[in-house]
């Protein structure tokens, strides 16, 4: 993705950006986007996230019953959604369910709202059940790098009410750790910052073994990866970077 290479300044891009009311996203160029499925070409995500979302939906046989409702949004679109919701639903509802422009994960292209196929779908709060194909998607999302971003019980950490429809792409090894340990992105980044600046977090996900290291500040002198080793660098939108390597 945008900051997947070491040359790009990774602080403001990557799969692990934390975006919330306290950490707004700098207004920058959108990531490279792709459609989330042939039937919903207007709903787009960052290219890699879009491919993995399509793969996860296919893996659970959800092509006809899982609808990508809202993916990447420009700042102007987020502003329009905020204004419209404020007008029709009032301020308490809007504050609870719509992020302020600049503070929405949807502006990263890494967040997707999913709904159950139906004649009418609520755009702000789509129905995405815990059973059937939708439940299967929830159980397998981490295999494809996605996590439920605002789970019940973590409202005090995320600052957002439980949103059973909002999934976030973070990348496969990171989703594996978050799912296994029950961590939301805020907690996962805090863990890396606290315990893995020197000793990498070792993660087995699928057939691969990943090493995850946190640096409190971007260091352009990072030596090139060893031969045969892949590396991805992501900013955390809080000044730090997460370096993920695998063979």
CA 116 from centroid of its chain's CA atoms: 20
Which residue of this chain has its Cβ atom nearest to Zn ion in the complex?
166
How far is the C-alpha of 90 from the C-alpha of 100, rounded, in Å? 14
DSSP-assigned letter for residue 160: S
Structure tokens at 161: 């009410």
Scanning 11-19, 35-43, 106-114, 198-206 for contacts with Zn ion by CB under 5 A, the matching segment is: 106-114
Nearer CB in complex with Zn ion: 150/188:
150
Catalytic residue among 163, 180, 187, 226, which? 163
Which parts of 153-172 interact with Zn ion (CB under 5 A)? Answer: 166
- Nearest CA to 232 out of 208, 39, 69 is that of 208
Nearer CB in complex with Zn ion: 112/183:
112
Neighbours of 85 (CB within 10 A): 18
Q: What is the nearest approach in angstroms of Zn ion to the Cβ of residue 56?
A: 17
Nearer CB in complex with Zn ion: 166/174:
166
Place of tokens 């031969």: 227
Rule CB under 5 A: say whether 107 interacts with Zn ion: no
Nearer CB in complex with Zn ion: 107/113:
113
* Integer-rounded Cα radius of gyration of the chain: 18
Q: Which of 46, 107, 113, 236 binds Zn ion (CB under 5 A)?
A: 113
91 catalytically annotated: no
- Nearest CA to 144 out of 116, 185, 175, 105 is that of 175
Under the rule (CB under 5 A), what is the footprint of Zn ion?
A: 113, 166
Residues with a catalytic annotation lie at 163
């Amino acid at each position: 993705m945008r900051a997947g290479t070491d040359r790009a300044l990774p602080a403001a891009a990557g799969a692990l950006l934390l975006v919330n009311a306290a950490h707004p996203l700098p207004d920058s160029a959108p990531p490279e986007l792709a459609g989330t499925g042939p039937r919903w070409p207007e709903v787009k995500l960052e290219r890699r996230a879009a491919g993995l979302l399509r793969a996860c939906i296919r893996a659970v046989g959800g092509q006809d019953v899982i609808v990508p409702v809202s993916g990447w949004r420009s700042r102007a679109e987020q502003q329009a959604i905020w204004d419209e919701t404020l007008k029709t639903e009032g301020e308490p509802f809007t504050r609870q369910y719509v992020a302020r422009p600049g503070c929405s994960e949807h502006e990263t292209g890494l967040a997707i709202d999913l709904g159950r196929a139906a004649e009418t779908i609520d755009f702000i709060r789509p129905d995405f059940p815990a059973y059937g194909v939708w439940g299967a998607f929830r159980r397998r999302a981490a295999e494809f790098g996605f996590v439920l971003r605002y789970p019940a019980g973590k409202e005090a950490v995320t600052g957002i009410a439980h949103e059973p429809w909002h999934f976030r792409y973070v990348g496969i090894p990171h989703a594996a750790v978050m799912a296994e340990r029950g961590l939301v992105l805020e907690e996962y980044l805090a863990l890396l910052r606290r315990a893995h600046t020197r000793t990498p977090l070792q993660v087995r996900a699928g057939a691969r073994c990943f090493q995850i290291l946190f640096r409190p500040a971007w260091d352009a002198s990072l030596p090139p990866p060893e031969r045969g080793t892949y590396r991805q660098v992501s900013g955390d939108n809080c000044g730090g970077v997460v370096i993920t390597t695998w063979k």
